[in-house]
């Protein structure tokens, strides 16, 4: 989990909201994988909604009352499935409302130009006889947040919301729906403006803060509504942005075409429909209800381990499954999971089929094809590529070209994982058992030999998938010659006696420093086909290259420090004489000072004298901060950790005064920190102080605390 503190804060906020809002939590569920549900078949809609509900229950410990639909894309069938699964409401855009009438009235009134009354809930009666409540957010205020700078000032934001109430005294709900990225990503400090806005409304009693579920309980709908079928909030053409060249795009490439969208959608629909019969035929051999099993597969996805997998099989299998049958069933479930994920909406949202978003959904498709070949003994790949050739690209000849360049090389299988393991074993501290991606490699026998910079690894290892439980045993030999030079071989069928004979010969050659003979032995026993560092996956390649370069950089650092220290007085004299410092000296200063600044925040103690010295050196020699984003992240995270100590009451006054000096010193440097996390936590501490939860030991404590707020750019006289 990338940010456990934020995750835990979200869960806690939902619990607090239940206390504040008559037992109704503010968190709502979402369709699981961000598919455009109106473009899905019925089975996929159902699975997405059920997975979203189960995911919510797993995290929040309660059933969801509402569900957010990806891009608010909706049709009647989607609403039917929501209602069938006890979802009470969803939120739509104003343009999605078609007509309304008073409950019990006969005639409908058409709605035009997004003129729906957004301050009340509506009841949508469905053909099945079920119903669901719909809220239509205030489009004008939402637009102001997204594009008109409404998040520049929390109090102005508050007044804009309050002014959206009508002058009559009926009960009304003013609400908006916006991208979460608006609050801090698209608009810096937007999350603080939102906090200030809500705080200002509450403190000044301008309105009552509530949530959808509480409002719905207290004020049920008095009007019913009809929707525009196949509509959404980010495409004025309905849902065409995800299946046609409708004209909607990011605006970044005005001359590019999105004519690729339709053939991409058709290709993936074709693949989905080809896979369904395989799933129905093969899964039917193992489980009682194949679609109920797919819907329940979320129990495995939420917490994948042997226990949950075995429980899933026990609940759905026709009989007790042996190891190979278990693997077969897991492949079938993963085939279906990837066949769903390949419809994730971002694959169509942007301007070009070779973009990272579309490549990602094509990786899911590639994986579904891989599993289909295993369980169905049929290769859809040639036809799939042929269909992609009909999708035009603005960068390449067609969609198939980028697919071959970026997607196919990224495919993971047991053999490629075996290559990774063999290469990683050269550098890993405990290579006898390594986890790589969703695989685990366990050695039955492993040896590593070193001679200066050269290394040799040999072993017999089993690679096992943690997803499908499939496994392969292989033998390997891999030779590291220094720098980027890695030569490796693997074999899936080498007998144990043969491996032992090869090992004896290759170790003897390595110890005699005859590297040519080592390579010759490898060719004899493994054949001429080799793999090198270039064959590794990108992430693993980066890790290994980082390992290699770290050792080299230690030597570089020592040399730069010698230049820096030995020539310090000379550089001072050169500067005083108005002579430019030679580039070699300047580079040495820049490297050493930057290295020590990074280390100060990453690992060092808060030695204020050292930080001030480094800041003075940076300015004195007019050197730039290198890897600025990395430095800002390290400094910001360290300051955040120090503020966490303040929040928990473990900081001393001296700690706070040191932190003040750190922030003052950083202000002298030519850069601005990413302080939003620290500002948020300080704002929380500040609110507790105002609510008398904080009691300062003396005036010095209070002054230091308020000074800290000033340096963090948090207004301590009433908000952020």
Q: Domain check: are 388 and 421 in the same one?
A: no
* pLDDT band at residue 417 using 50, 70 and 90 as cut-offs: confident
Answer yes or no: is pLDDT of 698 > 80: no
Asked whether the beta carbons of 227 and 96 are under 8 A apart, the reply is yes
Indicate whether 316 belongs to any domain. yes
Residues 6+ apart with CB under 8 A from 511: 449, 451
Answer yes or no: is pLDDT of 452 > 60: yes
State residue 692's pLDDT score: 52
State residue 1's pLDDT score: 64
Indicate whether 499 belongs to any domain. yes
Q: Domain check: are 76 and 167 in the same one?
A: yes
Summarised one tens digit per residue, pLDDT across range 369-394 is 999 999 999 999 999 999 999 999 99
Q: Domain check: are 213 and 83 in the same one?
A: yes
Answer yes or no: is pLDDT of 538 > 80: no
Residue 45: count other Cβ atoms within 10 Å of its Cβ. Answer: 21
* pLDDT band at residue 537 using 50, 70 and 90 as cut-offs: confident
State residue 718's pLDDT score: 44
State residue 433's pLDDT score: 79
Residue 491: count other Cβ atoms within 10 Å of its Cβ. Answer: 19
Indicate whether 634 belongs to any domain. yes
Pairing of strands 131-136, 454-465: unpaired
What is the CATH classification number for the domain harbouring 158?
Answer: 3.20.110.20
Asked whether the beta carbons of 586 and 621 are under 8 A apart, the reply is yes
State residue 604's pLDDT score: 66
Q: Domain check: are 348 and 445 in the same one?
A: no
C-alpha angle 411-416-419 in degrees, rounded to nearest 5? 150
Q: Domain check: are 48 and 86 in the same one?
A: yes
Answer yes or no: is pLDDT of 697 > 70: no
**pTM, 2 dp:** 0.87
Q: Domain check: are 298 and 165 in the same one?
A: no
State residue 530's pLDDT score: 75
Q: How many domains does the chain have?
A: 4
* pLDDT band at residue 268 using 50, 70 and 90 as cut-offs: very high
Q: Domain check: are 433 and 570 in the same one?
A: no
Indicate whether 92 belongs to any domain. yes
Q: Which domain holds residue 42?
A: 27-227
Summarised one tens digit per residue, pLDDT across range 418-435 is 888 888 888 877 777 778
**Cross-strand partners of 531:** 488
Least confident of 15-19, 61-65, 667-671, 683-687: 683-687
Mean pLDDT of 668-688: 82
Q: Domain check: are 100 and 144 in the same one?
A: yes
Indicate whether 658 belongs to any domain. yes
The percent of residues above 90 in pLDDT, for the chain, comes to 65
State the Cα–Cα distance between residues 194 and 704, nearest whole angstrom. 27
Answer yes or no: is pLDDT of 720 > 50: no
Indicate whether 239 belongs to any domain. no
State residue 529's pLDDT score: 66
Mean pLDDT of 116-143: 97
Summarised one tens digit per residue, pLDDT across range 234-266 is 999 999 999 999 999 988 898 999 999 999 999
Asked whether the beta carbons of 121 and 225 are under 8 A apart, the reply is no
Q: Domain check: are 164 and 53 in the same one?
A: yes
Which of 654, 642, 643 minimizes the C-alpha distance to 685?
Answer: 643
Summarised one tens digit per residue, pLDDT across range 36-47 is 999 999 999 999
Q: 361 or 673: whose pLDDT is higher?
A: 361
CA distances from 587 to 563, 571, 576 (A): 10, 12, 19
Asked whether the beta carbons of 692 and 683 are under 8 A apart, the reply is no
Tokens of 717: 């006289």
Q: Domain check: are 659 and 691 in the same one?
A: yes
3-state secondary structure of 460: strand
Q: Domain check: are 144 and 217 in the same one?
A: yes
Summarised one tens digit per residue, pLDDT across range 551-573 is 777 788 888 999 989 999 999 99
Q: Domain check: are 354 and 441 in the same one?
A: no
The percent of residues above 70 in pLDDT, for the chain, comes to 97
Asked whether the beta carbons of 335 and 371 are under 8 A apart, the reply is yes
Mean pLDDT of 86-98: 98
- The residue out of 410, 434, 468 marking a domain boundary is 410
State residue 648's pLDDT score: 82
Indicate whether 243 belongs to any domain. no
State the Cα–Cα distance between residues 90 and 65, nearest whole angstrom. 9
C-alpha angle 212-135-213 in degrees, rounded to nearest 5? 15
State residue 503's pLDDT score: 94
State the Cα–Cα distance between residues 544 and 533, nearest whole angstrom. 9
Pairing of strands 67-68, 29-30: parallel
Indicate whether 237 belongs to any domain. no
What angle do helix axes 154-162 and 190-203 make, rounded to 10 degrees?
Answer: 60
State residue 717's pLDDT score: 65
Asked whether the beta carbons of 160 and 170 are under 8 A apart, the reply is no
């Amino acid at each position: 989990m990338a940010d456990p503190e934020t995750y835990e804060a979200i869960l806690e906020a939902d619990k607090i909201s239940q206390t504040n809002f008559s037992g109704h939590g503010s968190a709502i569920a979402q369709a699981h994988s961000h598919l455009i549900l109106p473009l899905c078949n019925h089975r996929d809609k159902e699975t997405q909604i059920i997975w979203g509900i189960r995911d919510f229950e797993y995290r929040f410990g309660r059933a969801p009352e509402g569900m957010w639909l990806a891009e608010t894309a909706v049709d009647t069938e989607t609403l039917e499935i929501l209602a069938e699964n006890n979802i009470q409401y969803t939120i739509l855009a104003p343009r999605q409302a078609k007509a309304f009438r008073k409950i019990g009235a006969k005639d409908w009134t058409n709605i035009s130009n997004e003129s729906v009354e957004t301050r009340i809930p509506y009841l949508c009666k469905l053909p099945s006889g079920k119903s669901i409540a719909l809220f239509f957010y205030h489009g004008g205020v939402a637009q102001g947040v997204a594009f008109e700078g409404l998040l520049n000032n929390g109090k102005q934001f508050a007044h804009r919301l309050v002014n959206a109430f009508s002058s009559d005294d009926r009960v009304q709900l003013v609400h908006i729906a916006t991208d979460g990225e608006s609050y801090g990503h698209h608009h810096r400090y937007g999350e603080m403006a939102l906090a200030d806005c809500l705080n200002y409304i509450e403190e000044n009693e301008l309105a009552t803060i509530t949530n959808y579920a509480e409002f719905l309980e207290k004020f049920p709908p008095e009007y019913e509504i009809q929707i525009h079928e196949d509509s959404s909030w980010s495409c004025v053409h309905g849902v065409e942005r995800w299946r046609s060249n409708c004209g909607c795009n990011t605006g970044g490439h005005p001359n590019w075409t999105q004519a690729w969208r339709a053939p991409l959608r058709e290709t993936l629909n074709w693949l989905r429909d080809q896979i369904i019969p395989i799933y129905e035929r093969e899964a039917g051999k193992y489980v009682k209800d194949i679609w109920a099993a797919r819907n329940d597969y979320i129990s495995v996805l939420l917490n994948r381990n042997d226990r949950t997998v075995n429980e899933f099989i026990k609940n759905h299998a026709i009989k007790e499954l042996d190891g190979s049958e278990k693997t077969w069933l897991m492949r079938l479930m993963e085939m279906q999971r990837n066949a769903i994920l390949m419809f994730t909406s971002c694959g169509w949202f942007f301007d070009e089929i070779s973009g990272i978003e579309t490549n990602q959904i094509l990786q899911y498709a590639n994986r579904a094809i891989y599993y289909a070949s295993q369980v169905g003994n049929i290769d859809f790949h040639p036809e799939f590529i042929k269909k992609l050739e009909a999708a035009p690209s603005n960068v390449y000849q067609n969609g198939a070209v980028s697919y071959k360049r970026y997607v196919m090389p990224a495919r993971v299988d047991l053999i490629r994982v075996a290559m990774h393991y063999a290469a990683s074993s050269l550098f890993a501290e405990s290579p006898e058992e390594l986890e790589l991606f969703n695989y685990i490699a366990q050695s039955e026998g492993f040896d590593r030999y070193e001679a200066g910079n050269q290394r040799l690894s040999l072993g017999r290892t089993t690679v096992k998938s943690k997803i499908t439980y499939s496994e392969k045993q292989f033998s390997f030999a891999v030779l590291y010659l220094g720098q980027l030079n890695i030569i490796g071989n693997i074999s899936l069928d080498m007998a144990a006696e043969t491996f032992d004979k090869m090992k004896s010969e290759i170790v003897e050659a390595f110890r005699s420093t005859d590297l040519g003979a080592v390579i010759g032995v490898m060719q004899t026993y493994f054949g001429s086909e080799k793999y090198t560092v270039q064959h590794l996956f990108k992430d693993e390649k980066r890790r290994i290259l980082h390992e290699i370069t770290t050792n080299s950089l230690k030597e570089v650092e020592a040399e730069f420090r010698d230049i820096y220290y030995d020539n310090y007085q000379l550089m001072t004299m050169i500067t005083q004489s108005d002579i430019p410092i030679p580039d070699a000296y300047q580079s040495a200063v820049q490297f050493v000072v930057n290295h020590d600044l990074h280390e100060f925040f990453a690992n060092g103690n808060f030695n204020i004298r050292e930080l001030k010295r480094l800041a003075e050196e940076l300015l004195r020699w007019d050197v730039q901060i290198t890897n600025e984003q990395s430095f800002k992240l390290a400094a910001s995270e360290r300051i955040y950790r120090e503020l966490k100590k303040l929040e928990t009451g473990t900081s001393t006054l001296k700690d706070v005064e040191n932190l003040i000096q750190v922030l003052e010193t950083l202000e002298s440097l030519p850069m601005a920190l990413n302080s939003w996390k620290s500002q948020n936590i300080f704002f929380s501490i500040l609110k507790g102080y105002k609510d008398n939860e904080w009691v300062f030991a003396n005036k010095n404590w209070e002054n230091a605390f308020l000074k800290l707020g000033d340096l963090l750019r948090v207004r301590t006289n009433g908000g952020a």
